[in-house]
A and B are shown apart, each in its own frame.
Chain A
Amino acid sequence: MGRHPKKEELSTHIISALVLNNPGVLQRIAGLFSRRGYNISSITVGTTEIPNMARMTIVVKGDDKILEQVVKQLNKLIEVIKVSDLDVNKCVKRELCLIKIHTPDESSKSQVIQYTNVFRGKIVDLSQESLTVEITGRSDKINAFIDLVRTFGIKEVARTGLTALMRGPKVLKSKKS
């Protein structure tokens, strides 16, 4: 009979944490992941409906058992108010991306504008030789758009990383049961 907690398949997790917006809190949280050999794919932080509190959405890929340990360790942090490993299929996920595309002539410009419309993006900046597009949505949609405009020449990309909330009226369960 094996006593060792099983190693499991690597999978993607979206951790949502409500935290006190104190200096150093990001370092404290990121440190927990790196200490256990976890690479954070993305991390978003922003203020919330509650004063002095921020919500962090952390996307990581890894062994489920180790992740369970990380979530428990997160829960132990004094500045973490609530934390949850979101069910990937039961949450709204969004990411924002800014893409500066090489468009030296009218035809490339109009083509990119067309594509942007199809993806319900926005042109947010324009110059002689470039267009900057804002795309919001799920990460796969953003990936698809980036692939699409790659032929024009991408000058710069900035992505926020994923942010997410549970679907429905439910909110994050409190760290104390």
Chain B
Amino acid sequence: MRGAEALIKALEYEGVKVIFGYPGGALLPFYDALYDSDLIHILTRHEQGAAHAADGYARASGKVGVCVGTSGPGATNLVTGVATAYADSSPIIAITGQVPTRLIGNDAFQEIDALGIFMPIVKHNFQIRSSKDIPTTVRAAFEIAKTGRPGPVHIDLPKDVQEEEFDIEENPIPAKIDLPGYKPTIKGHPKQIKMAVNAIMTAERPVIIAGGGVNIANATEELLKLAELCSIPVCTTLMGKGSFPEEHPLSLGMVGMHGTKPANYAVSECDLLIAIGCRFSDRITGDVSSFAPYAKIIHIDIDPAEIGKNVDVDIPIVGDAKVVMRDIISHLLKMYRESGRELSSEGRREWLEYLESLKRSNIPKMDYDDVPIKPQRIVKELMDVIEELKLKDRSIITTDVGQNQMWMAHYFKVHLPRTFLSSGGLGTMGFGLPSAIGAKIAKPDSKVICVTGDGGLMMNIQELGTIADYGIPVVVCVFDNRTLGMVYQWQNLFYGRRQCNVNFGESPDFVKVAKGYGIEAQRVTDPNDIKDVLKEALLSDEPYLIDFAIDPAEGLPMVPPGGKLKNIIDPVRERPRERIPCFQEIKRKLLGDSKDRSIPQESLQDLNSPVEKEMY
């Protein structure tokens, strides 16, 4: 057996069935070994697509996703995807080919310091220098990726190591792996748990912020139990969407920059904030000094480095969200039993009524009939169609980044974990389509719907080729406003409407592009057609693209960056005015054609002034 086969054996031992990748010189031995293996390999059209697909696979399934790229450019193309997984604590293994060990350090063809490049964007990385280290390294990589706070692990594998003879008898795959420097804390400290329980018992205006950690820890049942047991309203971060059913009476929706009014008000007025598996990013807190000003804060997180990083907390609990919540719940139940106390006090009832009234008076309008289509209407129709087709328990949404993402995050109600996949931490445009591929491979029986902007789609549009060739039935919904909507909104709001390089022209015709790939596609311009086309797409068992022509002026309510959470402002709804210069104009500027150094209008008038006339 050779090293490459040992790698495949090691992957299979971890339960890997699918890998996403792209071959190259430094990976030839590996791809040769794949020839005889049962591993499914999905050939994406770009290594970034492979990394996002592995990430989507991991997010949808909770299992480790695997992606592969060759040395040099293959490795650098993986970088964005790996960094995206790192920012959202998604467990993937990225394997890169490397030049043979004897050439390392010689600036050989397609050599790059992959170890150094990946180091700051992975939980850990390895370079395997001898084939006998393959089994232990792969075991360690998976162990590190999926336990504790999950994250990407990178393995750099020189070509000669892939070719080296390997004896599985001498180097068996170890069942257990000892990592002396790696011992995640799972159980919360009993003293801290007691303090948290006391705080929960005495709070009058408690609120929970559920972050991505709740989804990752598969702790949604515990969260529901905790919230219902003590009548604590719940808001989520973007990454926490799905950790709490958003149709539940205690749900307040998403909190933060694009959060709902009830959620942002609840956090601003609560006297107890229970943050679970969230890291208080600036998109959640806004101005830190006025964040949750009246609250005692309980912070539950498996990563001790997250505690006290962005926000000072009163009761830190390091541990796994599921385990810690279980402990809290059993304590609470015991205390209730012993004291025979009512679950929610009078004060709490008032709080719930207040939030309820906020919710009632802030039901967002979504049933617009406008042409061009308002994005809210699409979100509404999408929810309705999913309901009508009974797909609620088996549909997965992936989003791209920008307004499309935030419209979905703000308006689309998610009720199951791992069904709303979005690049939160890194905000990577181009995530939507390839992650949908990964999600569909992870959950072949689910309907996977990718909601994307036109900009984000074009960042990895080549992956239409992947879904076409494999016939992966992903439904791509383009919120097509021909602008880089989110940037455009910020320029309109914060830069005096000086729209600069946020406008796309007519190119391309997405329907034609999709059809060019052999994918069924339709353009929708009339809001009354949305439902039927969505239905057709969702009922089809083929890839499908819908190009929704939406109103480019539509925006999102938001808290200005660094602002107070209660200060939600409306977008400036303005049509794009930006003109795209044509190449001839650019050429004239480049070549400094004097004829085109047109004299500004003001100085033309000056020419007519008596003094100027005399001078000429």
Q: B-contacting residues of A (Cβ < 8 Å)? A: 1-5, 19-20, 23-24, 27-28, 31, 35, 68-69, 72-73, 75-81, 175-177
Pick 30 A–B contacts, CB within 8 A, sort by A. Answer: A3-B289, A3-B290, A3-B292, A3-B293, A4-B288, A4-B289, A4-B311, A5-B308, A5-B309, A5-B310, A5-B312, A19-B181, A20-B180, A23-B127, A24-B119, A24-B127, A68-B308, A73-B305, A75-B304, A75-B305, A76-B305, A77-B181, A78-B179, A78-B181, A78-B182, A79-B181, A80-B181, A81-B180, A81-B181, A176-B183
Expressed in whole angstroms, the minimum distance between the Cβ of A12 and any Cβ of chain B is 22
B288 touches A3 (CB 8 A): yes
Asked whether B68 is an interface residue with its Cβ less than 8 Å from the other chain, the reply is: no
- Chain A residues with CB under 8 Å of B289's CB are 2-4
Expressed in whole angstroms, the minimum distance between the Cβ of A80 and any Cβ of chain B is 5
Asked whether B284 is an interface residue with its Cβ less than 8 Å from the other chain, the reply is: no
- Chain A residues with CB under 8 Å of B308's CB are 5, 68
Chain A residue, CB-CB nearest to B148? A76
- Chain A residues with CB under 8 Å of B180's CB are 20, 81
A175 touches B181 (CB 8 A): yes
B120 touches A76 (CB 8 A): no
Expressed in whole angstroms, the minimum distance between the Cβ of B324 and any Cβ of chain A is 15
The 5 closest A-B pairs by CB, nearest first: A72-B305, A176-B183, A4-B288, A78-B124, A81-B181
How distant is the Cα of A68 from the Cα of B183 in the complex, in angstroms?
A: 19
Asked whether B303 is an interface residue with its Cβ less than 8 Å from the other chain, the reply is: yes
- Chain B residues with CB under 8 Å of A27's CB are 116, 119
State the majority secondary structure of interface residues on B.
Answer: loop
Expressed in whole angstroms, the minimum distance between the Cβ of B287 and any Cβ of chain A is 9
Expressed in whole angstroms, the minimum distance between the Cβ of B506 and any Cβ of chain A is 43
- Chain B residues with CB under 8 Å of A80's CB are 181
B311 touches A3 (CB 8 A): yes
Question: How many of chain B's residues touch chain A, expressed as a range?
Answer: 20 to 34
Expressed in whole angstroms, the minimum distance between the Cβ of B320 and any Cβ of chain A is 14
Asked whether B385 is an interface residue with its Cβ less than 8 Å from the other chain, the reply is: no
- Chain A residues with CB under 8 Å of B179's CB are 78
Asked whether B144 is an interface residue with its Cβ less than 8 Å from the other chain, the reply is: yes
- Chain B residues with CB under 8 Å of A76's CB are 303, 305
Q: A72-B305, A75-B304 are in contact. Are A175 and B312 (CB under 8 A)?
A: no
- Chain B residues with CB under 8 Å of A72's CB are 304-305
Chain B residue, CB-CB nearest to A82? B181
A177 touches B182 (CB 8 A): no
Chain B residue, CB-CB nearest to A76? B305
B291 touches A3 (CB 8 A): yes
How distant is the Cα of A75 from the Cα of B124 in the complex, in angstroms?
A: 13
- How would residues 115 to 141 of chain B score, 1 for a CB under 8 Å from any chain A CB and 0 otherwise? 110011001100100000000000000
A20 touches B120 (CB 8 A): no
- Chain B residues with CB under 8 Å of A28's CB are 119
Asked whether B522 is an interface residue with its Cβ less than 8 Å from the other chain, the reply is: no
**Cβ < 8 Å to A, chain B residues 300-333:** 303-305, 308-312
**Cβ < 8 Å to A, chain B residues 259-311:** 285, 288-294, 303-305, 308-311
Asked whether B61 is an interface residue with its Cβ less than 8 Å from the other chain, the reply is: no
- Chain A residues with CB under 8 Å of B127's CB are 23-24
Asked whether B491 is an interface residue with its Cβ less than 8 Å from the other chain, the reply is: no
- Chain A residues with CB under 8 Å of B119's CB are 24, 27-28, 31
A69 touches B305 (CB 8 A): yes
Expressed in whole angstroms, the minimum distance between the Cβ of A118 and any Cβ of chain B is 44
B293 touches A31 (CB 8 A): no
Chain B residue, CB-CB nearest to A20? B181
Chain A residue, CB-CB nearest to B305? A72
How distant is the Cα of A80 from the Cα of B183 in the complex, in angstroms?
A: 11
- Chain B residues with CB under 8 Å of A3's CB are 285, 288-293, 311-312
How distant is the Cα of A69 from the Cα of B291 in the complex, in angstroms?
A: 21
Name which of A5, A20, A73 has the most chain B CB atoms within 10 A of its CB: A5
How distant is the Cα of A2 from the Cα of B285 in the complex, in angstroms?
A: 13
B309 touches A69 (CB 8 A): yes
- Chain A residues with CB under 8 Å of B120's CB are 31, 35
- Given pairs A4-B289, A24-B116, 9 additional interface contacts (CB within 8 A): A1-B293, A2-B312, A3-B289, A3-B293, A5-B311, A31-B119, A73-B305, A76-B303, A81-B181
Expressed in whole angstroms, the minimum distance between the Cβ of A23 and any Cβ of chain B is 7
How distant is the Cα of A23 from the Cα of B104 in the complex, in angstroms?
A: 14
**Cβ < 8 Å to A, chain B residues 144-192:** 144, 179-183, 185
Expressed in whole angstroms, the minimum distance between the Cβ of A123 and any Cβ of chain B is 40
A176 touches B185 (CB 8 A): yes
How distant is the Cα of A81 from the Cα of B179 in the complex, in angstroms?
A: 9
Expressed in whole angstroms, the minimum distance between the Cβ of A89 and any Cβ of chain B is 25
Expressed in whole angstroms, the minimum distance between the Cβ of A141 and any Cβ of chain B is 35
- Chain A residues with CB under 8 Å of B181's CB are 19-20, 77-81, 175
How distant is the Cα of A69 from the Cα of B179 in the complex, in angstroms?
A: 23
How distant is the Cα of A31 from the Cα of B119 in the complex, in angstroms?
A: 9
How distant is the Cα of A72 from the Cα of B115 in the complex, in angstroms?
A: 22
Contact partner of B115 among A24, A69, A78, CB < 8 A? A24
How distant is the Cα of A19 from the Cα of B180 in the complex, in angstroms?
A: 10
Chain A residue, CB-CB nearest to B182? A78
How distant is the Cα of A3 from the Cα of B267 in the complex, in angstroms?
A: 13
How distant is the Cα of A68 from the Cα of B294 in the complex, in angstroms?
A: 26
- Chain B residues with CB under 8 Å of A68's CB are 308
B305 touches A4 (CB 8 A): no
How distant is the Cα of A164 from the Cα of B389 in the complex, in angstroms?
A: 68
How distant is the Cα of A176 from the Cα of B294 in the complex, in angstroms?
A: 33
How distant is the Cα of A23 from the Cα of B125 in the complex, in angstroms?
A: 11
Expressed in whole angstroms, the minimum distance between the Cβ of B452 and any Cβ of chain A is 31
- Chain A residues with CB under 8 Å of B290's CB are 3
How distant is the Cα of A1 from the Cα of B291 in the complex, in angstroms?
A: 9
Chain B residue, CB-CB nearest to A35? B120
A78 touches B144 (CB 8 A): yes
